Protein backbone atom coordinates (compact mmCIF):
# COMPACT_ATOMS: atom_id res chain seq x y z
CA UNK A 1 0.00 0.00 0.00
CA UNK A 2 1.55 3.27 -1.15
CA UNK A 3 -0.27 5.60 1.22
CA UNK A 4 -1.25 8.33 -1.26
CA UNK A 5 -4.93 9.06 -0.76
CA UNK A 6 -7.21 11.26 -2.84
CA UNK A 7 -10.69 12.63 -2.39
CA UNK A 8 -13.30 12.63 -3.68
CA UNK A 9 -13.14 9.50 -5.80
CA UNK A 10 -15.85 10.64 -8.20
CA UNK A 11 -17.65 13.90 -8.79
CA UNK A 12 -19.80 15.60 -11.37
CA UNK A 13 -19.66 19.33 -12.03
CA UNK A 14 -21.34 21.71 -14.42
CA UNK A 15 -19.44 23.68 -17.04
CA UNK A 16 -18.26 26.99 -15.58
CA UNK A 17 -18.14 25.75 -12.00
CA UNK A 18 -15.05 25.37 -9.84
CA UNK A 19 -13.69 22.18 -8.29
CA UNK A 20 -11.20 21.33 -5.56
CA UNK A 21 -9.51 17.96 -5.40
CA UNK A 22 -7.50 16.84 -2.38
CA UNK A 23 -4.48 14.64 -1.84
CA UNK A 24 -2.64 13.31 1.17
CA UNK A 25 0.89 12.31 0.32
CA UNK A 26 2.66 9.25 1.61
CA UNK A 27 4.09 9.78 5.07
CA UNK A 28 7.38 11.66 4.91
CA UNK A 29 7.03 12.68 1.27
CA UNK A 30 7.56 16.41 0.71
CA UNK A 31 6.81 16.55 -3.02
CA UNK A 32 3.40 16.28 -4.63
CA UNK A 33 2.62 16.25 -8.33
CA UNK A 34 -0.71 16.32 -10.13
CA UNK A 35 -1.46 14.62 -13.42
CA UNK A 36 -4.50 14.67 -15.69
CA UNK A 37 -5.41 11.44 -17.47
CA UNK A 38 -8.02 11.74 -20.19
CA UNK A 39 -9.78 8.60 -21.37
CA UNK A 40 -7.49 6.46 -23.51
CA UNK A 41 -4.44 8.62 -22.83
CA UNK A 42 -1.45 8.48 -20.55
CA UNK A 43 -1.23 10.84 -17.58
CA UNK A 44 -0.15 14.42 -18.34
CA UNK A 45 1.82 16.49 -15.86
CA UNK A 46 -0.05 19.50 -14.49
CA UNK A 47 2.31 20.84 -11.81
CA UNK A 48 4.43 19.92 -8.83
CA UNK A 49 4.78 21.31 -5.32
CA UNK A 50 7.90 20.98 -3.22
CA UNK A 51 7.87 22.30 0.33
CA UNK A 52 4.75 24.38 -0.34
CA UNK A 53 6.12 26.05 -3.49
CA UNK A 54 5.25 25.29 -7.10
CA UNK A 55 8.49 24.14 -8.74
CA UNK A 56 7.34 22.95 -12.14
CA UNK A 57 4.34 23.25 -14.39
CA UNK A 58 3.13 21.49 -17.50
CA UNK A 59 1.16 22.92 -20.39
CA UNK A 60 -2.01 23.79 -18.49
CA UNK A 61 -3.76 27.17 -18.29
CA UNK A 62 -3.73 29.34 -15.14
CA UNK A 63 -7.25 28.25 -14.20
CA UNK A 64 -5.50 25.11 -12.95
CA UNK A 65 -3.95 26.05 -9.63
CA UNK A 66 -2.75 24.29 -6.54
CA UNK A 67 -1.64 24.48 -2.96
CA UNK A 68 0.57 22.46 -0.71
CA UNK A 69 0.16 22.64 3.04
CA UNK A 70 2.75 22.34 5.84
CA UNK A 71 1.83 18.69 6.32
CA UNK A 72 2.61 18.21 2.57
CA UNK A 73 -0.98 17.47 1.64
CA UNK A 74 -2.15 19.23 -1.49
CA UNK A 75 -5.11 20.61 -3.37
CA UNK A 76 -5.78 20.99 -7.06
CA UNK A 77 -8.24 23.72 -7.99
CA UNK A 78 -9.78 24.12 -11.41
CA UNK A 79 -11.83 27.22 -12.20
CA UNK A 80 -14.28 27.83 -15.04
CA UNK A 81 -14.61 24.14 -15.79
CA UNK A 82 -14.81 23.06 -19.42
CA UNK A 83 -16.15 19.83 -20.85
CA UNK A 84 -12.59 18.80 -21.82
CA UNK A 85 -11.58 18.90 -18.16
CA UNK A 86 -13.42 15.63 -17.70
CA UNK A 87 -10.66 13.19 -16.75
CA UNK A 88 -9.03 11.19 -14.01
CA UNK A 89 -6.85 13.42 -11.84
CA UNK A 90 -3.91 11.65 -10.26
CA UNK A 91 -1.87 12.80 -7.33
CA UNK A 92 1.66 11.48 -6.91
CA UNK A 93 4.13 11.92 -4.09
CA UNK A 94 7.84 11.39 -3.66
CA UNK A 95 10.50 12.18 -1.11
CA UNK A 96 12.44 14.90 -2.87
CA UNK A 97 11.48 16.79 -6.03
CA UNK A 98 14.99 17.25 -7.40
CA UNK A 99 16.23 13.71 -6.90
CA UNK A 100 15.86 11.40 -9.85
CA UNK A 101 16.37 8.31 -7.77
CA UNK A 102 13.23 8.50 -5.66
CA UNK A 103 10.18 6.49 -6.60
CA UNK A 104 7.00 8.36 -7.40
CA UNK A 105 3.88 6.84 -5.81
CA UNK A 106 0.43 7.44 -7.24
CA UNK A 107 -2.98 7.70 -5.66
CA UNK A 108 -6.07 6.03 -7.09
CA UNK A 109 -7.26 9.27 -8.58
CA UNK A 110 -10.35 11.45 -8.64
CA UNK A 111 -12.73 11.01 -11.54
CA UNK A 112 -14.14 14.37 -12.64
CA UNK A 113 -17.02 14.58 -15.07
CA UNK A 114 -18.01 18.00 -16.41
CA UNK A 115 -21.47 18.23 -17.92
CA UNK B 1 10.49 18.78 -25.98
CA UNK B 2 10.40 15.26 -24.70
CA UNK B 3 8.02 12.70 -26.12
CA UNK B 4 7.20 9.06 -25.42
CA UNK B 5 5.55 6.89 -28.04
CA UNK B 6 3.90 3.52 -27.50
CA UNK B 7 2.77 2.43 -30.96
CA UNK B 8 0.47 -0.40 -29.85
CA UNK B 9 -2.75 0.46 -28.02
CA UNK B 10 -3.72 -3.19 -27.72
CA UNK B 11 -1.59 -6.33 -27.60
CA UNK B 12 -2.79 -9.89 -27.14
CA UNK B 13 -0.60 -12.94 -26.62
CA UNK B 14 -1.19 -16.48 -25.45
CA UNK B 15 -0.04 -17.69 -22.06
CA UNK B 16 3.54 -18.90 -22.24
CA UNK B 17 4.36 -16.88 -25.34
CA UNK B 18 6.99 -14.14 -25.35
CA UNK B 19 5.76 -10.59 -25.14
CA UNK B 20 7.35 -7.28 -26.11
CA UNK B 21 5.76 -3.89 -25.46
CA UNK B 22 7.36 -1.18 -27.53
CA UNK B 23 8.41 2.24 -26.31
CA UNK B 24 10.30 4.93 -28.18
CA UNK B 25 11.31 8.27 -26.79
CA UNK B 26 12.51 11.63 -27.97
CA UNK B 27 14.69 13.61 -25.56
CA UNK B 28 17.78 15.74 -26.00
CA UNK B 29 19.34 14.96 -22.62
CA UNK B 30 20.31 11.78 -20.84
CA UNK B 31 17.04 9.88 -20.45
CA UNK B 32 15.69 8.32 -17.30
CA UNK B 33 13.04 5.80 -18.30
CA UNK B 34 10.42 3.82 -16.45
CA UNK B 35 7.68 1.31 -17.03
CA UNK B 36 4.52 1.71 -14.97
CA UNK B 37 1.71 -0.82 -14.80
CA UNK B 38 -1.94 -0.50 -13.90
CA UNK B 39 -3.81 -3.69 -13.10
CA UNK B 40 -7.60 -3.71 -13.25
CA UNK B 41 -9.10 -1.53 -10.49
CA UNK B 42 -5.67 -0.75 -9.03
CA UNK B 43 -3.53 2.35 -8.94
CA UNK B 44 -0.64 3.09 -11.24
CA UNK B 45 2.53 1.51 -9.90
CA UNK B 46 6.17 1.38 -10.86
CA UNK B 47 7.21 -1.82 -12.62
CA UNK B 48 10.84 -1.08 -13.33
CA UNK B 49 13.35 1.68 -14.11
CA UNK B 50 16.25 1.49 -16.50
CA UNK B 51 18.91 2.66 -14.05
CA UNK B 52 18.25 -0.36 -11.82
CA UNK B 53 18.69 -2.87 -14.63
CA UNK B 54 16.44 -5.16 -12.62
CA UNK B 55 13.94 -7.84 -13.53
CA UNK B 56 10.54 -7.51 -11.92
CA UNK B 57 7.90 -10.24 -12.31
CA UNK B 58 10.04 -11.65 -15.12
CA UNK B 59 9.98 -8.38 -17.10
CA UNK B 60 13.12 -6.66 -18.33
CA UNK B 61 13.72 -3.53 -20.35
CA UNK B 62 16.93 -2.37 -21.98
CA UNK B 63 17.63 1.21 -22.88
CA UNK B 64 18.88 1.50 -26.46
CA UNK B 65 20.11 5.05 -26.95
CA UNK B 66 20.93 4.48 -30.61
CA UNK B 67 17.37 3.48 -31.41
CA UNK B 68 15.90 5.69 -28.62
CA UNK B 69 13.91 2.73 -27.40
CA UNK B 70 13.06 1.15 -24.07
CA UNK B 71 11.03 -1.93 -24.96
CA UNK B 72 9.56 -4.10 -22.19
CA UNK B 73 10.02 -7.85 -22.59
CA UNK B 74 9.01 -11.06 -20.90
CA UNK B 75 9.93 -14.48 -22.26
CA UNK B 76 6.83 -16.32 -21.00
CA UNK B 77 3.66 -14.31 -20.47
CA UNK B 78 1.24 -15.18 -17.66
CA UNK B 79 -2.47 -14.42 -17.44
CA UNK B 80 -1.82 -12.20 -14.40
CA UNK B 81 0.33 -9.95 -16.62
CA UNK B 82 -2.83 -8.65 -18.28
CA UNK B 83 -2.85 -4.93 -17.52
CA UNK B 84 -2.26 -1.46 -18.95
CA UNK B 85 1.43 -0.66 -19.33
CA UNK B 86 2.83 2.86 -19.59
CA UNK B 87 6.31 3.88 -20.58
CA UNK B 88 7.49 7.13 -18.99
CA UNK B 89 10.45 9.48 -19.18
CA UNK B 90 11.53 11.61 -16.24
CA UNK B 91 12.89 15.06 -17.01
CA UNK B 92 12.51 18.77 -16.40
CA UNK B 93 13.15 21.01 -13.42
CA UNK B 94 10.47 19.19 -11.45
CA UNK B 95 11.71 15.77 -12.57
CA UNK B 96 8.20 15.14 -13.83
CA UNK B 97 7.09 12.11 -15.81
CA UNK B 98 6.11 12.24 -19.46
CA UNK B 99 3.97 9.21 -20.24
CA UNK B 100 3.20 7.37 -23.42
CA UNK B 101 -0.43 6.64 -24.26
CA UNK B 102 -0.19 3.11 -22.91
CA UNK B 103 -0.52 -0.45 -24.20
CA UNK B 104 -3.30 -2.73 -22.97
CA UNK B 105 -1.81 -6.22 -22.72
CA UNK B 106 -4.13 -9.20 -22.66
CA UNK B 107 -2.70 -12.63 -22.02
CA UNK B 108 -5.04 -15.30 -23.31
CA UNK B 109 -5.34 -18.73 -21.66
**In this prediction, what percent of chain A has a pLDDT beyond 70?**
93
Tell me what the mean pLDDT of segment A82-107 comes to: 84
Say whether pLDDT at A2 is over 60: no
pLDDT digits (tens, 9 = 90+) for B61-104: 989 999 999 999 999 999 999 999 999 999 887 788 999 999 99
Which chain A positions have a beta carbon within 8 Å of B9's beta carbon?
A: 40
Which chain B positions have a beta carbon within 8 Å of A104's beta carbon?
A: 46, 97
Predicted confidence band of residue A97 (pLDDT cuts 50, 70, 90): very low
Answer yes or no: are the C-beta atoms of A95 and A84 closer than 8 Å: no
Query: CA of A37, closest CA in chain B: separation in Å?
Result: 10
Answer yes or no: are the C-beta atoms of B73 and B61 closer than 8 Å: yes
Kindly state whether B96 is in contact with chain A, defined as any CB-CB distance less than 8 angstroms: yes
Could B45 and A106 be called an inter-chain contact, meaning their C-beta atoms sit closer than 8 Å?
yes
What does the H/E/C string look like for B56-105? ECCEEECCECCCCECCEEECCCCHHHCEEEEEEEEECCCCEEEECCCEEE
Query: CA of B86, closest CA in chain A: separation in Å?
Result: 7
**Where are the strands (E) in A1-114, listed by range?**
5-7, 10-13, 19-24, 31-37, 44-50, 53-57, 64-68, 74-78, 87-94, 105-106, 110-114
> Residue B33's closest CA among B68, B9, B58?
B68
Kindly state whether B30 is in contact with chain A, defined as any CB-CB distance less than 8 angstroms: no
Nearest to B96 among A58, A99, A106 (CB): A58
Kindly state whether B31 is in contact with chain A, defined as any CB-CB distance less than 8 angstroms: no
Tell me what the mean pLDDT of segment A90-111 comes to: 81
End-to-end CA distance of chain A: 33
Query: CA of B97, closest CA in chain A: separation in Å?
Result: 7
Nearest to B96 among A4, A56, A99 (CB): A56
Amino acid sequence: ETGVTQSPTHLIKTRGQQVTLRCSSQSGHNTVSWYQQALGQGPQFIFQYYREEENGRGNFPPRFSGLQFPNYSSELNVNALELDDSALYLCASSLAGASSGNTIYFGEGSWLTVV
Amino acid sequence: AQRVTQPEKLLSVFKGAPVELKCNYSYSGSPELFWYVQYSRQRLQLLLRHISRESIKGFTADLNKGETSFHLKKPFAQEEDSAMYYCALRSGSARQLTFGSGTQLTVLP
